[in-house]
A and B are shown apart, each in its own frame.
Chain A
Amino acid sequence: MGLDIRLPIGLMFTLLGALLACYGLATSTDTNVNCWWGLVLFIFGGVMLFFALRQRSRQKKEGRNL
């Protein structure tokens, strides 16, 4: 149905991960789970984004070949 759901999922989790990790770094002097979990979300989002973009470029290539 036109939309590859991995694209918004990847975008959202990389954004949330980056936000959480940066917030964790900025508040690390406050006596770091935010940093680590932000990194996990960022990597998960990145993997999703990678697969979505790879699929997109494949489809474009197939479109050009046709």
Chain B
Amino acid sequence: MHLHLIDYAIMLIYVGFVIGIGFALKRYMKTSSDFFLSGRSIPAWVCGLAFLSANLGALELVGMAASGAKYGIATCHFYWLGAIPAMIFLAVFMMPFYYGSKARSVPEYLKLRFDERTRCFNSLTFAVMTVFASGISMNALAKLLHNLLGWDYNLSLWICSAVVLVYVLKGGLTSAIYTEVLQFFMIVLGFAPVVYLGLKDVGGWTALKSILGGVATDPQKLGLNASHTFAPNAWTSAWTPIIGGPSANPMGVDVFAMVFGLGFVLSFGYWCTNFLVIQRAMAAKDMSAARRTPLIAAVPKMLFPALVILPGMIAVALASQGKDGYRLPPVAIPDRAYPAAVAAVKSGSDAAAISSIIHHGVNADKLAALEKASASSSDAQIGEGLQQAVTDTDYDGVILSLVKKYCPPGLMGLALTALLASFMSGMAGNVTAFNTVWTYDLYQAYIKPNQSDAHYMRMGTYVTVVGVVLSIGCAYVASNYSNAMDIVQLVFGFVNAPLFATFLLGMFWARTTSHGAFFGLCGGTLTSALFHGCTLAAGNAPGVKGGWIAVLQILPSEMAQNFWLAIFAFSSCLFLTLVISLATRRTKTNEELKGLVYSMTPKIVEPDQAWYMKPGFLGTILLLICAGLNFLFW
């Protein structure tokens, strides 16, 4: 695909502004608190949009469109069930402890509430996971730009990372938060025209529902990852197919796993304990602003499915109609397989032989036509023809395939800039969370305590560079090992799922002891590993996807396996923490737990705040709107 001067101009203007913001904020970075915590001075609306934007990495945009194509509107559960209730809970019940305890990070809260062991466990796992998450996101973006735009993988990786490094290095967390707000608007305004044009092209929402009804009754026709047929509403109803059981919905999950696994354990485990997003709320100027931050973020979060999931559904409808020859994007043939594959086409090999070279299915009719024309074609033309003959679908390419279809030069630059913005906001979020946890929770706590403030600020700038370099290293690891992402997501699930049980008991039960918290967390993580080692999703071979100890249970899909793993990990952590806490002595006095535990903390009274601005009231309104959306698309 060829980009025009106008497209590059739009990208350059955007890059100029984000770097400019970093330089404009440089003079305000006087202390380590300014660099790592923004001096706790940022207004609620800025923190709210940054809270959302930090979570809106390239993987989210690309992955949600892919899920929209594979599962339809049920993907909205990751928003309406898997985010909004947890964000409201964080604002109403948990933010007062995070912000009021004056902890500088989530691991530091664990230290204040429990002890150093729990803090060390959490900060180490968080730091490692953050770097890997950043690297995987970078790899996904660079690969996408290489496969669909022909951009050099290394160049994409290094240039994007360098831009993030410059503005984070200059303006610290403030710079990351401010640019995340700019990036939020860039993402919305960059992708909105694509969704509008796509929806108009398929004939509007009613026509889309009718086309997807046909797809649901014969998903195999499009090569969708579905082994059987569904009711016509499988792609367009959020709840009816889920209630029908694992075999009635393309996700292959049951209603209990969806509600308890995703809606409670995984979502609360992420939104209520992940320092990456909570750091944005902790940078707010006062307690009231900190509590409003997740509530402000919840408003656009509720509407985001229209921007990130709908394109996937539109792509399936277009492919089903075969409109203007559109098809779901095929998986890219690996660069190293091209020479052998082209030679095989020239020698007239059959489809099975070529499939074994490129490791993907090939359309026999298209291959025959290609072989017939190969005598008069160049190697590049044969390679291009072979790419079009691949039958396997690259769902991650769905969003860019729509951008290519609908955006003329100009809008194309805007949409690609939106994609770059999503990548940068996600990466900056990871880097700023990593440098804070490293400096405060590992370096200051265990390596060099009692140093000057300037020393820690200097360490923060060094570790920002280290964080970016490590992320780039992880991106290369992910690009060389096809299952690197599976492994990292797996470990992330092991660590994240039990964590919410520790926080829940720690914040709402004063009797929870430090022994209970630490051993409960370790036990929950171990349970995750055991559950994964003994279960397998249907269609997978034992190994990194599970069943590496023994296959005791086959689950209908990988998603069902993830949700049930979270349920088991949370339950075992909760049970172990309860039992061990009852069997051991408390080490913290009631006075020490003030501001850390619900029952020990005086209720927040804000007499100046109108009743309709109180977090409880706003949260209730948001929950009602969210419930309304669920009923609307039931």
Contacts and interface: CB of A to CB of B under 8 A. Distances in A.
B46 A5 contact: yes
A5 B179 CA distance: 8
B577 to A, nearest CB: 39
Interface residues of B, number: 31
Contacts of A3: 21, 24-25, 28, 178
Contacts of A23: 6, 409-410
Contact of B182 (A12, A15, A24): A12
Contacts of B6: 19-20, 23
Name A's interface SS: helix
Contacts of B14: 12, 16
A52 to B, nearest CB: 12
A34 B411 contact: yes
A34 to B, nearest CB: 4
Interface residues of A, number: 23
B411 A33 contact: yes
Given A19-B10, A23-B6, A33-B408, A40 B174 contact: no
B163 to A, nearest CB: 15
A55 to B, nearest CB: 11
B193 A37 contact: yes
B189 A9 contact: no
A24 B28 contact: no
A13 B185 contact: yes
A1 B28 contact: yes
A17 to B, nearest CB: 9
Contacts of A16: 10, 13-14, 414
A41 B413 CA distance: 14
Max chain A C-beta neighbours (<10 A), residue from B39, B42, B193: B193
B482 to A, nearest CB: 38
A2 interface: yes
Contacts of B174: 1
A9 B414 contact: no
Interface string A1-39: 111010011011101100110011001000001100110
Contacts of B156: none
B42 A44 contact: no
B181 interface: yes
Contacts of B197: 33
Contact of B189 (A1, A19, A44): A44
B182 A5 contact: yes
A30 B544 CA distance: 52
A27 B174 CA distance: 40
Contacts of A38: 410
Nearest to A26: B6
Contacts of B28: 1-3
Contacts of B340: none
B188 to A, nearest CB: 10
Interface in B21-38: 21, 24-25, 27-28, 34, 38
Contacts of B41: 1
B633 interface: no
Contacts of A1: 25, 28, 34, 38-39, 41-42, 174
B20 interface: yes
B228 to A, nearest CB: 40
Contacts of A2: 25, 27-28
14 contacts: A1-B28, A1-B34, A1-B38, A1-B39, A1-B174, A2-B27, A3-B24, A9-B182, A16-B14, A19-B9, A20-B411, A37-B193, A37-B414, A41-B189
7 tightest A-B contacts by CB? Answer: A34-B410, A12-B17, A5-B178, A23-B6, A1-B174, A1-B41, A23-B410
Given A1-B42, A3-B28, A23-B409, 16 more contacts: A3-B21, A5-B182, A8-B20, A8-B178, A12-B13, A16-B10, A20-B6, A20-B411, A20-B414, A23-B6, A23-B410, A33-B193, A34-B411, A37-B411, A41-B189, A44-B185
